[in-house]
Structure 1
Amino acid sequence: MKKREIIMLHLQGKSYRSIERETGINRKTISKTCKEYDANQKLLEREDLTNEEKDEVIRTIVEVKSYDSTNRKPRKMTTHLLRRLEEIAKDEVEKTSLLGKTHKQQLDGCRVHEMITDEGFEITYRTMMTYWKTIIEKAQEAFIRQDYGYGERVEYDFGEVKLYINGEVVKCHLAAFAAPASGFRWGYLYKNQKMDIFLDSHVQFFEMIGGVYTEVVYDNMRNVVSKFIGHKKELNPQLIQMSLYYGFDITTTNAYAGNEKGSVERTVEVIRKRLFTKKYKFDSLEHAQQHLHEGLKMMNQNCKIEEEKPYLRAYKVPYELSILVESKVDKYSCVCLDNNHYSVPDYLVGKSVKVKKYHDHYDIYANSNYVGTHKKIDGIGQYQLELQHYLKTLRNKPGALKHSLALKQCPQLLSIYQNHFKQNDREFIEILLKNTDKQISELPSVLLDAKDCKTTVSKSEEVIDAVKIEIRKLSQMYGLQQETEGDEICQLKH
């Protein structure tokens, strides 16, 4: 936390002395932290760095020292107790709606404290009242209108959207961004709102916008606030690391204060109503995502995002979100990742490969060389195979092609095989081996062209044979010399 605080003040242009006065941290520590941060940022700009060196520099930037907190005494106000107070407050609202605003049966602080102590919570009356007043007086508070400059602030929130995808009802999660100064709105659809999804939405947004806002504002969601310690909030360390890399400040709203990020609260509602009320059926999540972005482009036509972009902090290469793991290739030339199986080239059987795991795909490397990418499977115990990975093995075992799962997972190639190559497995395999440089989408046309070419040659030979027979008949009838037959045939071929 100290490192983040120093870096944020340093990025605001404050001197080491000013930072020392504000934080109470020794100036030598401040100087060392800032100089190390600036040096690493300059190092990232070098074009001759390898991917491993870049990863190491990024780890140095986002590394935060951890401290042993096992001996700290627990605080009385816990998240569980806070939720219980919130439940009591909701019951009071319901009571008021049923009995009327002027009823005389409101719970006072003494009764609330009595209720929670009877339930086993240990907390003093005064400490409890600090939180209770905040909850029950929320409706009576005044609001101050805010005015933000370009590039200063973007607000973030998650919202739910129910869609009908490929014949099933799917609860999607909309990661929404709203920039109050320019009125720009953007979002991404995901299948959950886990930490890797939460971080990925930020990387995608900064990449798309081409810069970074000074401040990102959140509510107290689990991905942002790991836990409450008394009146203080402990921020999620993964979010802190990403903020250190991009250089944005993390701001969280007060409890029960959605108005403090009202732009994004409204954005989630607007996107749901304008883009997913008329159209809610899609073939895939990708199609839904495409519909979302096309709709957002229309919604943003009158915003001032182009005027805001020059005020954003400088663009940086995408923050690396992968988890690096090592996996051994089994006898089926597959690696097992998250209880599913993904194919790799058959020459890697029995060897170990390294895998970069992302929230939606895997990048596979062997001896530091890129091998391929697989889209993550939803489910358990399933296989995702590419026929090109098995061609060398199939050349030696062509009989295995007919019932292979790799062929069945490519419907277009399977259809061509069954209609044109069912009696000639070797020819099918050899054509694919000669075209390993082509994409899977190009192979159907390659196979059909090869088959058409062979058919044309066969038909030409049939015609020539028929002409030969006719020439022999004519020769016998008119006594023509047989020596001319070859010349006639040569002329026909040409």
Structure 2
Amino acid sequence: MNKKQEVLLKYLREGRSQREIASEIGVDRKTVSKYIKEYENKKIEIEQCNDDVHTGELIQNLVEAPKYKVGVRTKRVMTQEIEQKVMAHLQENDAKRQKGLRKQVKKPIDVFEALESEGVEASYSTVLRTIRQLERKVKEAFIKGSYIPGDICEFDWGEVKVNINGKWRKLQMAVFTSAFGNYRMAFLFMKQKMECFQEAHALFFKETGGVYQTMVYDNMRVAVKRFVGTEKEPTDGLLKLSLYYGFHFRFCNVRRGNEKGHVERSVEVIRRKAFAFRDTFETIEAANQYLYEICEIRNRKPQVSSFSRKTCPK
């Protein structure tokens, strides 16, 4: 409607040619001509009409939005049989992803060409729309886990920038979070080395007075030695830790932070609650003592669970 109004105003008030109007507004010259002819024909009818009611209708037609003729198009129906064929391709893609073959999955255009080779009469846009609808239906859902005291604890690293004796340093923060009760504890180290990884566990188990049944890690280098297909081989350091303390361990899937969502959130919370208020210390030991005190304050806050958050099996 705004385009129609702009065309008519430039033609009637500014005296522009149809070519100029089409070029300036960015519409086809035939469209410009159509708007002008419709206006002039309606205006002639209004001037010749003696009936007030009929005149009102003509004026309304003059200023209403333009109407377009839409041809009757044959719709491509996505039958259930074709939809099942599309779903089969999507399921094959899922199987490949689970085998680590992400670069060899079919894209929508590949699915379309496969259907076309089978004699399926469906446009690419129809196939693409169907794929998107099916993917939305089978979208991954996350179920909130249920935990028991002393069962699962998650570990992760986080970076912290602090001023130590007048120099800004980037320290590594080892963070532990229990799945039950959200008990949190963190320690600062200079690097993410195996010795720091092992020392962090020793400090944490000493603090809790026991060992959790299962420790959860992502694909960090101190925990995962290498990938063997879809399996992950643990480092010697992690194996020694688990044998010495007697805990099981498991790894998250790649790009699945939700599988250790407690500690993912804890890194951000602890870093903010501690170092948003203070970031200057004489020594790294002083920074660690401050961090410990902040964790203790947070852990004393009441939780929803009726059990103690610091409960361990041993």
Contiguous gaps of at least 5 residues in structure 2: 1-95, 111-134
For 1:198, the equivalent position in structure 2 comes to: 197
For 2:308, the equivalent position in structure 1 comes to: 307
For 2:166, the equivalent position in structure 1 comes to: 167
Deviation string 1:187-209 (CA, Å, 9 cap, x unpaired) is 00000011110011001100111
Deviation at 1:307, TM superposition (A): 2.8
CA distance in 1, matches of 2:109, 2:279: 47
Deviation string 1:165-210 (CA, Å, 9 cap, x unpaired) is 1111100000000012122100000000111100110011001110
CA distance in 2, matches of 1:303, 1:220: 32
Letter in 1 for 2:295: L
Question: Matched residue of 1:141: which SS?
Answer: coil
- The answer on 1:209 being equivalent to 2:219 is no
For 2:34, the equivalent position in structure 1 comes to: none
Deviation string 1:261-297 (CA, Å, 9 cap, x unpaired) is 1110000000111110121111111111111011111
1:23-38, aligned counterparts within 5 Å? Answer: none
1:311-460, aligned counterparts within 5 Å? Answer: 312-314=312-314
CA distance in 1, matches of 2:158, 2:145: 24
8 Å CA contact retained: 1:156, 1:217: yes
CA distance in 2, matches of 1:148, 1:169: 40
Deviation at 1:107, TM superposition (A): 6.5
Q: What RMSD, in angstroms, separates the aligned Cα atoms of the two structures? A: 2.9
Pick closer, same or farther for the CA change 1:303–1:151 going to 2, 3 Å: farther
1:4-19, aligned counterparts within 5 Å? Answer: none
CA distance in 2, matches of 1:255, 1:141: 15
8 Å CA contact retained: 1:159, 1:174: yes
Q: Which contiguous aligned blocks of 4+ residues in structure 1 show a shift greater than 6 angstroms?
A: none
Deviates further, 300-309 or 152-161: 300-309
- Which gives a bigger RCO, structure 1 or 2 (Cα 8 Å, sep 6+)? 2
1:10-159, aligned counterparts within 5 Å? Answer: 140-159=139-158
For 1:263, the equivalent position in structure 2 comes to: 262
Pick closer, same or farther for the CA change 1:248–1:232 going to 2, 3 Å: same
CA distance in 2, matches of 1:269, 1:194: 21
8 Å CA contact retained: 1:162, 1:172: yes
Pick closer, same or farther for the CA change 1:276–1:265 going to 2, 3 Å: same
For 2:294, the equivalent position in structure 1 comes to: 295
Letter in 2 for 1:141: E
CA distance in 2, matches of 1:174, 1:140: 34
Pick closer, same or farther for the CA change 1:196–1:303 going to 2, 3 Å: farther
Deviation at 1:252, TM superposition (A): 0.7
Identity score, percent: 39
TM-score (norm 1): 0.35
Letter in 2 for 1:204: L
| Alignment: residue pair count | 188
Letter in 1 for 2:257: G
8 Å CA contact retained: 1:182, 1:303: no
8 Å CA contact retained: 2:176, 2:184: yes
For 1:336, the equivalent position in structure 2 comes to: none
TM-score (norm 2): 0.55
8 Å CA contact retained: 1:154, 1:215: yes
CA distance in 2, matches of 1:143, 1:219: 18
CA distance in 2, matches of 1:299, 1:264: 14
8 Å CA contact retained: 1:155, 1:261: yes
CA distance in 1, matches of 2:274, 2:309: 25
Pick closer, same or farther for the CA change 1:108–1:294 going to 2, 3 Å: same
Letter in 2 for 1:221: M
CA distance in 2, matches of 1:189, 1:303: 26
CA distance in 2, matches of 1:258, 1:270: 16
CA distance in 2, matches of 1:175, 1:308: 19
Letter in 1 for 2:190: K
8 Å CA contact retained: 1:183, 1:303: no
Pick closer, same or farther for the CA change 1:181–1:283 going to 2, 3 Å: same
8 Å CA contact retained: 1:184, 1:303: no
Pick closer, same or farther for the CA change 1:199–1:303 going to 2, 3 Å: farther
Pick closer, same or farther for the CA change 1:109–1:233 going to 2, 3 Å: farther
- The answer on 1:176 being equivalent to 2:175 is yes
8 Å CA contact retained: 1:175, 1:188: yes
CA distance in 1, matches of 2:228, 2:287: 40
Deviation at 1:312, TM superposition (A): 2.1
Deviation at 1:313, TM superposition (A): 3.2
Letter in 1 for 2:260: K
For 1:330, the equivalent position in structure 2 comes to: none
CA distance in 2, matches of 1:308, 1:300: 8
Pick closer, same or farther for the CA change 1:269–1:308 going to 2, 3 Å: closer
Letter in 1 for 2:312: L
